[in-house]
Each structure stands twice: as C-alpha cells, then as structure tokens.
Amino acid sequence: MNTCIAIIGAGPSGLLLGQLLQRAGIDNVILERQSADYVLGRIRAGVLEQGMVDLLHEAGVGERMMREGEVHDGVELVVDGRRERLDLHGLTGGRTVTVYGQTEVTRDLMQARRDSGGRTFYEVPDVSLHDLDSDRPRVRFTLDGEPVELSCDYIAGCDGYHGISRQSIPAGVLQTFERVYPFGWLGLLSDTPPVNPELIYASHPRGFALCSMRSPTRSRYYVQVGLDERVEDWSDERFWDELKRRLPEEVAGQLVTGPSLEKSIAPLRSFVVEPMQHGRLFLLGDAAHIVPPTGAKGLNLAASDVSTLYRILLKVYRDGRTDLLARYSAICLRRIWKAERFSWWMTRLLHRFPDTDPFDERILRAELDYVLGSEAGRRTLAENYVGLPYEAIE
C-alpha cells in the first residue's frame, strides 16, 4: 500500500488534517486503533477559538457548526461569590469563541471523510512505525488478519497522549516537560438547559467549578475533586449539591438538575515534548502536548498544529519547499507554550491547592483582584481565551 501522508489516529487532529489534505488532493490514509463509535463516545471539550472555526470552514465542515454552534461574546468568572463578566468581543476587537462539542466536530469530520472517499481503517490495533529517518518511512499493521505495509512520504502522529507515534521516537531525542496537579475534574453531562447563557468559571473555598454547555438543552458541569476521589462515590445528587455550594446563590437557585448522561473524573496535567518531529514523523495534538482544561485550549492547540503542518505540506507538494519541514516543531511550540502558560495560570488562579499557605492565598487574591480590576488585566485574559494568532507559513 502507498500514500503521501500516513495519519495515525482518527481523533480531531487526524481527521481534520486528513480532510484538509483530501481537499488539496494530497493522498493520505488514516489508521485508528478504536472503532468510529468508540471515538464518538468520548466526551471532551467544547469551546472553539476563531482560528479553529476558520480552519473547519476551510476544511469544508463548518456548515452544521454555523447552524448549531453558539457564538459567545463573553464569559463569566466568579471570585468571592462576585460575578465578573469578561466582554471577550469588546476586549479583543471583535473576537469571540464558539461553543460546539468536540463530539460534533468529530462527527462532521467523519462524515466528510466518508464523502471524500478517503481511505480510513478503524480497529487497527497493532500499528508500528519504521524507517523514520529514511526518505520512505513505512507503517505496518494488520488488516483482516493479514499483515500490511504502508509506504509513505511522511507520517502524521495524531494518536493522542497514549499513542505509539511519540513512543516510536528513539530514546534521548525528546525532552519532556511536565506538571501534574494535585486534583482532577469531575464532569457531568445532562440534558438540562444551561444555568447561564455564557460559561461560568468559579473559584470557591471548596474548590473550582465550571458551568458549560453543549446546546440550549444540554449542559456540561465540572467540580474540582481530590485525586483519591472515585466516580462511583458521586451520585448525581451529590454532584449537584456540591456544584450548587460552589456557585453564587442566584446562580445555584436557577440550576436545573437532572439525570447524568455521563460522569467521569479527569486528572489535570501539563505536558509538552520537544521537538515535535523526528525524521519524517511529525507529532500533532495530544500526542505532543496536554494542557489542563481550565483554559479550554486542548482541542484548539490540536487545530493549530494541524494548520501548521497542513500549510507546510501544501508548500512541499506544490512548490517543493521541503526546507519548511524542519521548522514545523519550532513554529508549533511558540504557540503551544503560550497556551501552556495560560492554562497553567488559569488553573493556578481558580483552583484550591492543598498546600496553599495564607501568604499564597493573599497573593492569589491580589492577582485576581488586579486582573479583574484592570483593563489591561482583563484584556490579557480575554486575548488568551479567544486564542492567540496562528503564525504565517512562508
């Protein structure tokens, strides 16, 4: 089997890259370990930066997002029980975010993939990568019980944090940067109307809470929990009670509760590998970096990596600009580190850390006071939240 680009993983990174390449006429094959239904069953984030929205339009998959996604002009922060609205639109010269679930993005991309006739193989459990340093790398896997070898020009490692792409890079090449936080997020999805038209990020002595949504009839809520908590110990009732305690009274009073469709605990971590490439293998999305969800940056960073690699590959195949390939990692990492910083900062600012002493607490309160009380502070937060610009590829 032959192709130009072998794409490992059919999450948002792999599917979006595949779709952009299909439209540009650059042949590609996607290999995914799980089934399509399994991929669609994972509940993930739902806040899209303008850059990602634009990229989805460019990929020809923006139509349903335009109809069903909600454009948000602002977001709320709650500190000491006080509600503070950040006018994202006003503070950033007209930029906004769009609320549209990752599940829906993935569904749209899967449909577009089927329509494009692109080759996708699901439930391929044993992908391995070979000859990354040569000019014709190979991907081996088993299809219908038969061994297959896929020969390609380049490999896009879009297989998430647990994938094999990063692990296929020889020891000693990658440097890892990591921070593990001493808590997780317990999330609940329910078919109830959102408590507020805009997202609410709440800092509270009992811990952080977030009110988010997927549609006018579907809500997503989170509460910060200790790492030793087990989801089995959290009945829906206990979740709703805890959420209400962390919200201002007038918000809690309006909260519509209902049975959970999904409930899970996710640990929080920051993680980056450098460089994001080796030979002819390029890492994208969660395969190369993780952010804590506080800044809503995970999915958006995957999109900016896809944009960067796609624009480089366009120039490689159209103009022979193979010189650009060596710059992939550095271009991506400049933006990634800024989003890592923002996500770390938001996490530190809004969560309760077990080892916080009274001095730390006063400093944190002063920081929140400053940021929300100053035009410059609010603008900085808003500019990062709506997403920093993509670098031009030239």
Give the residue among 135, 123, 148, 171 at the shortest CA–CA distance from 4: 135
For the beta carbon of residue 380, count every other beta carbon within 10 angstroms. 15
Q: Which is nearer to ligand PHB, 29 or 202 (CB)?
A: 202
157 binds, among ligand PHB, ligand APR, none (CB under 5 to 8 A by kind): none
Q: 125: Cβ–Cβ under 8 A, 6 or more apart, which residues?
A: 33, 142
Read off the amino acid at residue 361. Answer: E
Q: Is 390 a catalytic residue?
A: no
- Using CB under 6 A, which of 108, 159, 198, 274 touches ligand APR? 159
- Quick one: tokens of 327? 């710059």
Applying the rule CB under 6 A, the residues between 257 and 316 that interact with ligand APR are 285-286, 298-299, 302
- Does 44 participate in binding ligand APR (rule CB under 6 A)? yes
List the catalytic residue out of 310, 317, 385, 390: 385
Compute the least distance from the CB of residue 227 to ligand APR, in Å: 19
Dist. CA 105–CA 22, nearest whole Å = 17
Compute the least distance from the CB of residue 110 to ligand APR, in Å: 11
Read off the amino acid at residue 205. Answer: P
3-class SS of residue 209: strand
List the catalytic residue out of 100, 154, 201, 390: 201
Q: Is 201 a catalytic residue?
A: yes
Compute the least distance from the CB of residue 294 to ligand PHB, in Å: 6
Q: Is 315 a catalytic residue?
A: no
For the beta carbon of residue 271, count every other beta carbon within 10 angstroms. 17
CB 256 within 8 A of CB 195: yes
Residues that bind ligand PHB (CB under 6 A): 45-47, 199, 210, 212, 220, 293-294, 296
Q: Is 161 a catalytic residue?
A: no
- Using CB under 6 A, which of 105, 150, 158, 346 touches ligand APR? 158
Give the residue among 113, 138, 116, 143 at the shortest CA–CA distance from 128: 138
CB 308 within 8 A of CB 324: no
Dist. CA 13–CA 22, nearest whole Å = 14
Select from 30-38, 207-215, 334-342, 367-375 the region that touches ligand APR (CB under 6 A).
30-38
- Does 210 participate in binding ligand APR (rule CB under 6 A)? no
Q: Is 181 a catalytic residue?
A: no
Select from 4-12, 111-119, 245-253, 368-376 the region that touches ligand APR (CB under 6 A).
4-12
- Does 387 participate in binding ligand APR (rule CB under 6 A)? no
- Quick one: tokens of 385? 């939240």
Give the residue among 12, 18, 194 at the shortest CA–CA distance from 102: 12
Q: Which is nearer to ligand APR, 252 or 261 (CB)?
A: 261
List the catalytic residue out of 292, 293, 310, 317: 293
List the catalytic residue out of 12, 72, 194, 310: 72
- Does 163 participate in binding ligand APR (rule CB under 6 A)? yes
Compute the least distance from the CB of residue 286 to ligand PHB, in Å: 15
CA distances from 277 to 175, 198, 204, 359 (A): 12, 38, 41, 42
- Does 33 participate in binding ligand APR (rule CB under 6 A)? yes
CB 96 within 8 A of CB 89: yes
Give the residue among 301, 288, 338, 343 at the shortest CA–CA distance from 49: 301
Give the residue nearest to ligand PHB (CB): 212
CB 386 within 8 A of CB 50: yes
Applying the rule CB under 6 A, the residues between 110 and 139 that interact with ligand APR are 127
Catalytic residues: 72, 201, 293, 297, 385
Instruction: Give me the residues that bind ligand APR (CB under 6 A), please.
Output: 8-14, 31-34, 39, 44-45, 102, 127, 158-160, 162-164, 285-286, 298-299, 302
